Structure 1
Amino acid sequence: MTRDEAGRADDPARWIGRDLHLEVSGAGGRRAGLIRAIREAIRTGRLGPDTPLPPYRSLAADLGIARNTVADAYAELVAEGWLTARQGSGTRVARRAEPLAAPRRRARMRPVAGNSAGPTYNLRQGQPDAASFPRAAWVASARRALNAAPSEAFGPGDPQGRPELRAALADYLARVRGVRTHPDRIVVCSGFAHALRLLFGGVLRGPAAVEAYGLAFHRSILAAASVRTLPLAIDEHGADTAAGSVALAGARVAVLTPAHQFPTGGPLPPERRVAALDWARAGGGIVVEDDYDGEFRYDRRPVGAVQGMDPDRVIYVGSVSKSLSPAIRLGWMVLPGHLVEDVLAVKGQREAWAGVTDQLTLADFIEGGHYDRHIRRMRQRYRARRDHLVAALAEHAPHVRATGIAAGLHAVLQLPPGTEPAAIAAAEREGLALDALSVFRHPDTDSPVRDGLVVGYATPPDHAYPAAVTALCRALATTTG
């Protein structure tokens, strides 16, 4: 090779007009998707050491994304050591060890988030559509809130949370969820799990009655606090809180999801709400109300909070994890007045406090009506996704019934007895990440075993959702038809 030929080989301009196939998809936006795609191409050996990458403008045009997006992705990969950049020779794959061999297929699926080698479609429950986060409105609220914030807001702070946010929440929760409270009874936390740790870290005593189907993660938090959990039987109407319940009889706390039982979906009927409050009043008990997705009701007006019926016997817990994003890490406890100081004493050190800037931003976001508008927009979008899922099942897997679909971000697909393992395996082969209903069952319950799949329809981006539902129907058709 001559000097001139070598120079031309190093010239980044030689990439203009040449193709580099990259699949830019997944959560987190196009920049994050491009970073994942380039990392994966390097890991698998498609881009070997010292391979030049296309110039920003060329790759941006090919992928239909902004030039700055490509430049930012390249810069991050250079900082991480995946790429090198030298003036005159462009951006290249760094010289590194040989690509890792492809791992053997796992028998059990791993979560999709952050895992570029994971399943193609994420249908796990509990996650909103990350691409729908209202970035522009959130940034505008942050700007207004920071400009208006008093200087003391950036001092040591208050473990109870910023007064601006507590006042905004008191008004919003009263208007939308029927909660009866005052800002002085609200304590800001980082979500429901954080609330459980605070409440059972020295404020509430067990045993605790919990629903027979629910998150094992929440039960593990109680177990870590040496709290025994007693399973409450559930049916299509939610938890059975009728007088004579063995679980309630032995409990001092009841942890319930009244608006939309998780994961099976039934709202707690009025008579069962009254029974739970009667139990609490009669024996000095406390109901912890997990209102995890109460704002997303599709077929009729939202079911109000149980807390509104007895604010002194119910601890109401909510968060923005489903409505906005779990990354914001903001939640709230609406407490009986006599428990506020006890919770603050447990909260204690500043490391457990939520960030002031996010609190101020959320307060402005709520007060300016942006939160209501976002909820309405997402309610319409998620309802359309639910309807798409139900219609696809009716056409391609009519033997599978979707339940719990009047509200929330997920559906439970009821399967014929004994078919759940095969359905999960077929879903994995189709590149789907979802959960078996059995993983939510309390190990000590004597409730009947139910075969089913818990399908989250909020997580995939809009462009990927139809393909995810098609893959799901294929999996069901081959295993349960």
Structure 2
Amino acid sequence: MEKTWAISGAGAGADLHLDLTGPGGVRASLIRALRDAVRTGRLAPGTRLPASRTLAADLGLARNTVADAYGELVAEGWLTARQGSGTRVAPRAAPGAPERRSPVPRTRPRPVYDLRGGTADVSAFPRAAWLTAARRALAAAPAEAFGHVDERGRVELRTALADYLSRARGVRADPERIVVCAGFTQGLALLSRVLRERGTRELGVESYGLWFHHEALDRHGLRTSPLTVDESGARVEELERRKGLRAVMLTPAHQFPTGVPLHPDRRAAVVDWAVRTGGLILEDDYDGEFRYDRQPVGCLQGLAPEHAVYFGTASKSLAPGLRLAWMVLPEHLVGDVVRLKRAGEWSSGALDQLTLAELITSGAYDRHVRAMRLSYRRRRDQLVDALAAHAPHIRVTGIAAGLHAVLSLPPGTEQDTVRAGAWEGLALEGLSRFRQGPTAGEEGLVVGYATPPSHAFEGALSALLRVLPAG
């Protein structure tokens, strides 16, 4: 009968699973099993093995048998043994690693600077404030917080968000109508499924936007119907001509990527459309906290809370790696969204939710947002000043708020500029990348001035100036 052993060198080394079958007796089987574990990478270099006495007890073997096996593998170079350090796996090449060869020259350099839009400066994550908030949250957390998470999210975070969103963004929020999500895309997917169940087949979207959001809608059975975007935002009057359309997704505070806010007349018009037709507005407020040269633009949701879903996220204000976002839902959608989330969707970790709640209620979140607002405004000003001095023929727009700007380019130069940026080690995205449908439009770059860490921004800016087309 085959023997497989799980050994647990508690306090004296790693837990292992060894197969002591095969010819040659117990000692030979143990040597073979350990050698195979090292060779295949199950035991990584530097891993400390259990003491011979512990391993012998776990396997039911004589201690001398284990000591002899260790000695044999040390002699072969698989293991090392040092006084006071125990027996460890010897350093060696990773299993299956190819032989070292002369490097093959790359056709183009890897990006040194990232100026793609839509990302915050993650190097500025408030580590000290987050750690302080995490300690306080952990000390105050009830035991049940470490059980199964409520599908809506921790009540502490939903309560903190309701107060903050009401105060800072004009959202009419109640903790019972907030659902915390593991990112905006998860929330969009959940809502798409609910709308599909209720008979929605088509969703109005802006003609400029993030392609993977539209792909998420398509995956869940919703066709997208683009609305023209101009200098006043989405032309929401087009909704009236699309019979049967009862839902629309907008970025009204700061259209992505063009950067324009939705004109007040159009804000009023889309709210009137939703109330009159029973329609639904999906409001993506992805960077509404960052404004520079204008008063804050309030949320559409505050004008018609039963006809709008407000989406917010910590990915721009803190970091995308937190996987924390939220929806403020009309009352009639809460039950179905929670039901689908309960049916297998993942949830954000309870401790991160409690930490963010503490960060908000302590005022540390507001302080961080204000500090980053000043930092990003300085970068934006550097970008605008540099263009004025060295490339005055390049028009820059969408700069009153947010984390990116749009640089208009002469016709026929967008793709060449993106490729030239790649040769300079600069990651850039053209405006056409965000255009929905076959319609032609202005050429340009979407420059995310928030993405590089502070120490690298001047280098990124210099590289950008080198690749812009001449006037």
TM-score range, shorter chain: 0.7 to 0.9
Match of 2:363 in 1: 369
CA distance in 1, matches of 2:148, 2:228: 45
Letter in 2 for 1:464: A
Residue 153 (structure 1) aligned to one of 145, 155, 178:
145
Indicate conservation of the 8 Å contact 1:243/1:279, yes or no: no
CA distance in 1, matches of 2:193, 2:268: 28
Match of 1:232 in 2: 227
Q: What secondary structure is seen at the aligned counterpart in 2 of 1:119?
A: coil
Shift of 1:243: 5.9
Indicate conservation of the 8 Å contact 2:396/2:406, yes or no: yes
Q: 1:85 to 1:282 in 2, by over 3 A?
A: farther
Indicate conservation of the 8 Å contact 2:157/2:353, yes or no: yes
Match of 1:98 in 2: 100
Letter in 1 for 2:323: R
Deviates more, 1:216-225 or 1:349-358: 349-358
Match of 1:209 in 2: 204
Match of 1:3 in 2: none
CA distance in 1, matches of 2:411, 2:82: 64
Letter in 1 for 2:220: A
Structure number with bigger Rg: 2
Q: 1:140 to 1:227 in 2, by over 3 A?
A: same
Indicate conservation of the 8 Å contact 2:115/2:452, yes or no: yes
Q: What secondary structure is seen at the aligned counterpart in 2 of 1:338?
A: helix
Q: 1:85 to 1:385 in 2, by over 3 A?
A: farther
CA distance in 2, matches of 1:211, 1:85: 63
Alignment pair present for 1:457 and 2:449: yes
Match of 2:86 in 1: none
Indicate conservation of the 8 Å contact 2:203/2:223, yes or no: yes
Q: What secondary structure is seen at the aligned counterpart in 2 of 1:413?
A: strand
Match of 1:328 in 2: 322
Match of 2:301 in 1: 307
Match of 1:433 in 2: 427
Shift of 1:418: 1.3
Q: 1:100 to 1:292 in 2, by over 3 A?
A: farther
Alignment pair present for 1:128 and 2:120: yes
CA distance in 2, matches of 1:346, 1:381: 40
CA distance in 1, matches of 2:326, 2:364: 19
Q: What secondary structure is seen at the aligned counterpart in 2 of 1:379?
A: helix
Instruction: For residues 167-196 of structure 1, give each alpha carbon's deviation from its aligned partner in whole angstroms, at most 9, with x where no partner exists.
Output: 000000000000012111101112211111
Instruction: For residues 277-317 of structure 1, give each alpha carbon's deviation from its aligned partner in whole angstroms, at most 9, with x where no partner exists.
Output: 11112221100000000000011221111100010000000
Shift of 1:137: 0.6
Indicate conservation of the 8 Å contact 2:214/2:224, yes or no: yes
Residue 471 (structure 1) aligned to one of 446, 459, 463:
463
Indicate conservation of the 8 Å contact 1:255/1:287, yes or no: yes
Q: Which runs of 5+ in 2 are unaligned?
A: 1-43, 48-78, 84-89
Q: Which runs of 5+ in 1 are unaligned?
A: 1-75, 107-116
Q: 1:290 to 1:430 in 2, by over 3 A?
A: same
Q: 1:252 to 1:368 in 2, by over 3 A?
A: same
CA distance in 2, matches of 1:133, 1:102: 36
CA distance in 1, matches of 2:171, 2:257: 23
Deviates more, 1:96-105 or 1:338-347: 96-105
CA distance in 1, matches of 2:312, 2:266: 21
Task: Give the structure-1-normalised TM-score.
Answer: 0.76
CA distance in 2, matches of 1:323, 1:333: 16
Identity %: 55
Shift of 1:236: 1.4
Match of 1:392 in 2: 386
Residue 181 (structure 1) aligned to one of 163, 173, 179:
173
Q: What secondary structure is seen at the aligned counterpart in 2 of 1:202?
A: helix
Indicate conservation of the 8 Å contact 1:243/1:275, yes or no: no
Letter in 2 for 1:105: T
Match of 1:352 in 2: 346
CA distance in 1, matches of 2:342, 2:190: 10
CA distance in 1, matches of 2:101, 2:264: 60
CA distance in 1, matches of 2:104, 2:298: 50
Letter in 2 for 1:451: E
Q: What secondary structure is seen at the aligned counterpart in 2 of 1:308?
A: coil
Instruction: For residues 384-413 of structure 1, give each alpha carbon's deviation from its aligned partner in whole angstroms, at most 9, with x where no partner exists.
Output: 000000101111111111110111111110
Q: What is the aligned-residue RMSD (CA, Å)?
A: 2.3
Q: What secondary structure is seen at the aligned counterpart in 1 of 2:454?
A: coil
Indicate conservation of the 8 Å contact 1:315/1:334, yes or no: yes
CA distance in 1, matches of 2:102, 2:119: 31
Alignment pair present for 1:218 and 2:218: no
CA distance in 1, matches of 2:120, 2:92: 35
CA distance in 1, matches of 2:441, 2:183: 30
Task: Give the structure-2-normalised TM-score.
Answer: 0.78
Match of 1:275 in 2: 269
Letter in 1 for 2:381: D
CA distance in 2, matches of 1:471, 1:388: 14
CA distance in 2, matches of 1:133, 1:85: 41
Q: 1:210 to 1:351 in 2, by over 3 A?
A: closer
Indicate conservation of the 8 Å contact 1:236/1:265, yes or no: no
Indicate conservation of the 8 Å contact 1:415/1:480, yes or no: no
